[in-house]
Chain A
Amino acid sequence: MTALADAPTTVRCTYRDAVREAIREAMQRDPRVFLMGEDVGMYGGCFAVSRGLLDEFGPERIRDTPLSESAFVGAGIGAAVAGMRPIVEIMTVNFSLLALDQIMNNAATLLHMSGGQFAVPVVIRMTTGAGRQLAAQHSHSLEGWYAHIPGITVLAPATLEDARGMLWTALEDPDPVLVFENGALYNMEGELATDAGPVDIATARVRRGGTDVSLITYGGMLPRTLEAAEALAAEGVSAEVVDLRVLRPLDDATIIGSVVKTHRAVVVDEGWRSGSLSAEVSARITEQAFWDLDAPVARVCSAEVPMPYAKHLEEAALPQVPSILAAAREVLGG
């Protein structure tokens, strides 16, 4: 039993717990906030994120929806326009394609099209990413698509602090915010400050300092990128790891600041290479740090195939530590 004086300043929890705590805190603080999505109530959430919330807040504010992504995402947008602050959960990014028209043509566009009259303060959360042998239709990584759309903010919380702290800031944002939670992170365990609160949703973060090469990544790829950086350290290479956190708008200052220092960049992105978010990051580095580059920007992305079911094939398709190390060595001229 730890003495009262030094009461525990952190608590052991999972990424999933952090997200649930964020939702609970938001619902307690603001009556306009309500959660809506498939199986978020009785079932407790497809990934058990919203377990227990129905009992605490009741069916009016924890609303199970029929499998009508376009209607309930559109309804979330309409309710936001009418003064609420909905959290709409789409089970996975794979099903968000059915609501892409509402997200693109209504949520992201209403403010501009109406000449600034109708803002849409909605938060839409969805899981993303592969790695659990769910095969092609359930393993997409499409954050890069959404990061292409002006009018919305796109987040990729990869740490417990961000999972806990981004939601409240997103709910206070008068414009639509999309939050992508990589499925592989839900079981990630760690220490979270007991008084962890809102965090900014505008900047990237250097998770590990370094001078020889910048490893730039986000979301589900952060853990393995940090692992690669440790391996490089053993080879005497000082690798800096930049966690984008915000995929739109991209935090150019932090990205370029790192590359200008290290002169070499590797972008690790679970999306397919062509037209991916890593392509955008690489283009910005070439535009803004061209004269500081000692090697072309390298990219480590998923193989351009529909995600296969078989474990060994799926692992071969996804960016892994060895492929990150190979890319780093290449830009280092090793």
Chain B
Amino acid sequence: MPSLGADMDAGTIVEWRVGPGDTVKRGDIVAVVATDKADIDVEVFESGVVEELLVPVGIKVPVGTPLARLGTLARAGATAAPVTVAAAAAPAGHPAAPPPAAPVVAVGATHSPLVRRLADRMHVDVTHLAGTGPGGAVTRTDVERAGARHRASPRARRLAREAGVDLGALTGSGPGGAVVGADVLAARPPSPPATGAPDRTASMRQAIARQMARSAREIPHYHLAVDVDMSAATAWLTAANEQRTVAERLLPAALLLKATALAAAAVPGFNGWCEDETYRPADGVHLATIVSLRGGGLVAPVIHDAAALSVDEVMAALRDLVQRARSGHLRAGDVSGASLTVTNLGDLGVDSVHGVIHPPQVALVGFGRAADRPWVVDGAVVARAVVTVTLAADHRVSDGMQGARFLDAVARHLQRPEGC
């Protein structure tokens, strides 16, 4: 069924000009089709012998439906492509869904004159107000509640919500007695609680979900892990903190980040971006570290050029980013440009993390909990604080061999913390 016009998506054959056995050549008129506008001749673009008419007269079919089967002239009887190549995808005509039934609102049967007068004064439309009185009648309080809700400015509503002030309790100084911003500010308790938009985490959750789905879809992950004896690192940290004030105190996370940065700078293939199948190594190690927010949700602020920073500088950067993340003062620059991501769930008592890479990055390093585990030293089993370091990497960019060399570099740096 040919498309015969801009707004045609189906047609009905009113007359076949040819039948099985007839020979047709290019340009012949083989049928007449009725469209909404008029009957139009249908020409054929192939030559051959008509073998079978697939659509009878009078049946409406969508554009692109094969109408007849044509045999080639030479071998009659052989099946050939249907007359008109049904190239057009059948237009996606979606059946009109029946409109959802409008919810039935029980409308107040009777309104006393008093209620009606009050409603007029408060600009309340009683006709479709759900009454709470006997038999659904609209009562005074129904009107007042509707009226009160009716007159407060959007700004007043926002300030009231933020300041935890009950709008109903205020008398308005705005137009028509509406409560306005000034009224709320005047009625606000002295110290308003921190503003936290509750729906922020929902939209954040969605954004993370989308990214993770894309990552799983596009990036062929491979996972490696290594256990690292942290006793040297822990000893080094304790000694280091003794010479530092509490404000400069180092957390293990700073050391883990620095070790990862040094490894990423040394072993190629884990620090950069992969877009349209081409890998672009980053010029410096811009380490994103996953920070959970107290109201729920995650952000990944970035420590730029981490490999070039001292452990103290990494700690200072980490402390600043986490504090600003949790107080909602991160800027766009803080969360962009990451070339490698580290997730450190040690705090929550998890042994190992098998993460999902954040596209378009090409690797993710995870640190589990540092906990005492049996560990063989000089043939004897002793207790040692051990951490499991995992690597999730993009097989389009690196392979297991390089992955192993990367984890080995991290382990070596953790075992010689003074070198970090």
Contact = CB atoms under 8 A, between A and B. Distances in A.
Say if the two chains contact directly (CB < 8 Å): yes
A227 interface: no
A295 interface: yes
A146 interface: no
Q: Which of B154, B178, B182 has the most CB of A within 10 A?
A: B154
Q: Which of B158, B175, B180 has the most CB of A within 10 A?
A: B175
Interface residues of A, number: 11
Q: Which of B153, B158, B174 has the most CB of A within 10 A?
A: B153
Given A263-B181, A333-B180, A293 B153 contact: yes
Contact of A333 (B154, B155, B178): B178
A333 B158 contact: no
Nearest to A291: B158
B156 interface: yes
A8 B153 CA distance: 52
B173 interface: yes
A294 B158 contact: no
Nearest to B176: A333
Contact of B154 (A291, A330, A331): A291
A292 B184 CA distance: 13
Contacts of B180: 263, 294-295, 333
Contacts of A309: none
A331 B175 contact: yes
Contact of A293 (B154, B176, B182): B154
Contacts of B157: 291
A331 B175 CA distance: 6
Interface residues of B, number: 14
Contacts, number: 36
A333 B181 contact: no
Given A263-B181, A294-B181, A330 B155 contact: no
Interface string B154-170: 11111000000000000
Interface string B135-171: 0000000000000000001111110000000000000
Nearest to A334: B175
A47 interface: no
Contacts of A333: 173-176, 178, 180
B382 to A, nearest CB: 63
Contacts of B155: 263, 291-294
Contacts of B154: 290-293
Contacts of B175: 295, 330-333
Interface string B23-43: 000000000000000000000
A331 B176 CA distance: 10
A263 B154 CA distance: 10
Interface of B is mostly: helix
A268 B157 CA distance: 28
B89 to A, nearest CB: 26
B21 to A, nearest CB: 50
Contacts of A331: 175
B293 to A, nearest CB: 24
Nearest to B182: A294
Interface string A10-51: 000000000000000000000000000000000000000000
Nearest to A295: B175
Interface string A280-321: 000000000011111100000000000000000000000000
A333 B180 CA distance: 9
Contacts of B153: 263, 293-295
Interface string A258-291: 0000010000000000000000000000000011
A263 B158 CA distance: 13
Contacts of A330: 175
Contacts of B174: 294-295, 333
Nearest to A331: B175
A290 B158 CA distance: 10
A330 B175 CA distance: 7
B197 to A, nearest CB: 12
A254 to B, nearest CB: 20
A290 B176 CA distance: 19
Nearest to A330: B175
Contacts of B176: 333
A264 B94 CA distance: 46
B157 to A, nearest CB: 8
Nearest to A260: B155
Q: Which of A291, A293, A294, A332 has the most CB of B within 10 A?
A: A294
A78 to B, nearest CB: 29
Contacts of A263: 153, 155, 180-181
Contacts of A332: 175
A333 B156 CA distance: 14
B8 to A, nearest CB: 25
A324 B287 CA distance: 58
Interface string A204-218: 000000000000000
A313 to B, nearest CB: 30
Interface string B175-203: 11010111000000000000000000000
B402 to A, nearest CB: 45
Interface string B359-389: 0000000000000000000000000000000
A291 B155 CA distance: 5
A294 B146 CA distance: 19
A293 B180 CA distance: 9
Contacts of A290: 154
Interface in A180-231: none
Contacts of B156: 294
A244 B302 CA distance: 42
A331 B154 CA distance: 14
A245 to B, nearest CB: 28
Interface in A54-75: none
A292 B159 CA distance: 9
Given A293-B155, A333-B176, 12 more contacts: A290-B154, A291-B155, A291-B157, A293-B153, A294-B156, A294-B174, A294-B180, A294-B181, A331-B175, A333-B173, A333-B174, A333-B178
8 closest A-B pairs by CB: A333-B175, A294-B180, A333-B174, A294-B153, A291-B158, A290-B154, A293-B154, A295-B175
Interface of A: 263, 290-295, 330-333
27 contacts: A263-B153, A263-B155, A263-B180, A263-B181, A290-B154, A291-B155, A291-B157, A291-B158, A292-B155, A292-B158, A293-B153, A293-B155, A294-B155, A294-B156, A294-B174, A294-B181, A294-B182, A295-B153, A295-B175, A295-B178, A295-B180, A331-B175, A333-B173, A333-B174, A333-B176, A333-B178, A333-B180
